[in-house]
Chains A and B, each alone.
Chain A
């Protein structure tokens, strides 16, 4: 079987157990229909001149208090979301004015006769993708605060209002256009098929089984979205999805363009999550499990580093039938006891189990890792303090029974593949130091330098055999 599999799960659901390797992020999609958003209704009391805003479609007490609904002013969040802040509501019974602010202290409200009424909703304090400013106007005669997304202020400028500035940023729309992107699976061909059609197009009559909603996407183009193209390989039965209008390698690999599957974001935007792409070329013989633990805070850059390293390793290893399963990803940066190990002393880093006290302490951290699982630790520096000292980029020396390695962040795409290769029993080519390398040594993954030539690097059949025979690998 050959199959491309897409999921919002960073761990790939069960993909890694089934011989898939991570190819990267296909695009950005929505994990849900943003059900936590709500309309922010505007009400107006012609007797007091007060504008009142609420997410309650019934308007709370407004209808019974002489207010008239003026429609939806914008869209907001009902609960706290990433990058949002509370939009606090205050009320001044003397001027009958409702006042809204992101300032937890209410700006001047407490000292101006306002009383706190609670959190109206959640909004963005800063501009985000798909957000627009909510402007605040003040009527200096009536004391009414008026909020609108209209940069011109609607009728405010001609009604005695003065612009006070941007109160916050709100949602332009409720993403009402988001649609379910359904996933189907064909147990016969192993193909995963994704479609907007609730009936699955021809899937249900072609041996596919419905698996549920993969994510939420746009049917039609929206601002800043790109098309997700669908390709099909008639020989293998694989469906392939990409935002590349050229189809990446699909056209030269026998795939036929089927059209635009949906519209998505190419880059992360507010509320989107990565839609990861996995590839299974078939042929898994043995599998290994690799966990990633970072002593540094896991930033987007570190997550990208790991995804790239894991993906490169998966592709290379699978060429010899070794499937790499992603175990867990753990951020150990808050563990104060481990901070002195961020610049890890690995000594001369001999192959085997002769570890330094630093390594012994570090490799003991095997949360969620089975005894045969390999743990890759990311640290700031790897140093050998024995004179003459040096630094290292990776080191695969670990205590007996605690297989793993330590690496630093690098652009060298196959560093983790190289170090895990050591863990699985591989040794350097053209070693010991000083022995001349052959002209093609630098093509090998086990070349003792990150300056590989003719990438991706090579693994010989005997090296694959060593990996397949490692006691750390299991049958697929």
Chain B
């Protein structure tokens, strides 16, 4: 079992790749949970990407909880990592992040909507494309709607 510092060092790679993440297992979840509270936002975001690779309900619950993290970096990470999550977990997270006030989070949530989204996500996206206060967000929503089934 790795120590917290070992997990942190392991995930401190500047450009994390699959070799990096392959060394993280479900045993490391408690340390990843601690990393979610790290003082460095990018490190907490890195923990999200590590958790998203674990096929583990506890890991998914931590990600779901982190959708309420105050740091943009963490919420963006969840949006970007959502394709790795089980469909139900991803849908719930994206639904939450589509309501985010930050442009970047919303932008990446829209980007991560799968080609076959649930009716709920599709409805949310349609509403955003019509009523969002930001023209850029409306534009990318319309583009996304044009390619989803």
Contact = CB atoms under 8 A, between A and B. Distances in A.
Contacts of A380: 72-73, 76, 104
A387 B49 contact: no
Interface stretch (B77-85, B88-96, B117-125): B77-85
Contact of B9 (A391, A392, A394, A449): A449
B19 A433 contact: yes
B104 A449 contact: no
Contacts of B42: 381, 391, 393, 408-410
B77 A339 contact: no
Contacts of B84: 387-389
Contact of A391 (B18, B19, B45): B45
A343 interface: yes
Given A388-B18, A408-B42, A434-B19, A340 B107 contact: yes
Contacts of A415: 14
Given A340-B103, A389-B49, A390-B17, A408 B12 contact: no
Contact of B40 (A387, A411, A434): A411
A415 B13 CA distance: 11
Interface string A418-433: 1000000000000001
A467 to B, nearest CB: 18
Contacts, number: 99
A272 interface: no
B14 A391 contact: no
A308 B70 CA distance: 26
Contacts of A411: 39-40
Nearest to B45: A391
B15 interface: yes
Tell me whether chain A's interface is mostly helix, strand or loop, or mixed.
Answer: loop
Given A343-B72, A380-B73, A390 B14 contact: no
Interface string A391-415: 1111100000000000011111001
A101 B104 CA distance: 43
Interface in B17-70: 17-21, 39-42, 45-46, 49, 53
A381 B14 contact: no
A449 B12 contact: yes
Nearest to A408: B42
A391 B12 contact: no
Interface centre among A342, A381, A412 (most CB of B within 10 A): A381
B130 interface: no
Given A381-B73, A389-B84, A343 B108 contact: yes
Contacts of B87: none
A383 interface: yes
Contacts of A318: none
A277 to B, nearest CB: 27
Nearest to B39: A411
Contacts of B17: 390, 433
B136 interface: yes
A380 B44 CA distance: 13
Contacts of A434: 19
B43 to A, nearest CB: 8
Contacts of A409: 41-42
A392 B43 CA distance: 10
A342 B14 contact: no
Most central of A340, A349, A409, A410 by chain B CB within 10 Å: A340
A450 interface: yes
Contacts of B127: none
A182 B42 CA distance: 45
B16 interface: yes
B89 to A, nearest CB: 15
Nearest to B77: A391
A390 B49 contact: yes
Given A381-B72, A391-B42, A449 B13 contact: yes
A283 interface: no
Interface in A316-360: 339-340, 342-343, 349
Nearest to B73: A381
Contacts of B8: 451
B14 A387 contact: no
A380 B140 CA distance: 20
Given A381-B45, A390-B21, A391-B73, 13 more contacts: A340-B104, A340-B107, A343-B107, A349-B15, A380-B72, A381-B104, A390-B16, A391-B49, A408-B73, A412-B12, A418-B14, A449-B14, A451-B9
Closest 5 CB pairs of A and B: A343-B104, A433-B19, A451-B9, A451-B12, A449-B13
14 contacts: A340-B104, A349-B15, A380-B72, A381-B104, A387-B83, A388-B18, A388-B84, A389-B49, A389-B81, A389-B83, A391-B80, A411-B39, A434-B19, A448-B13
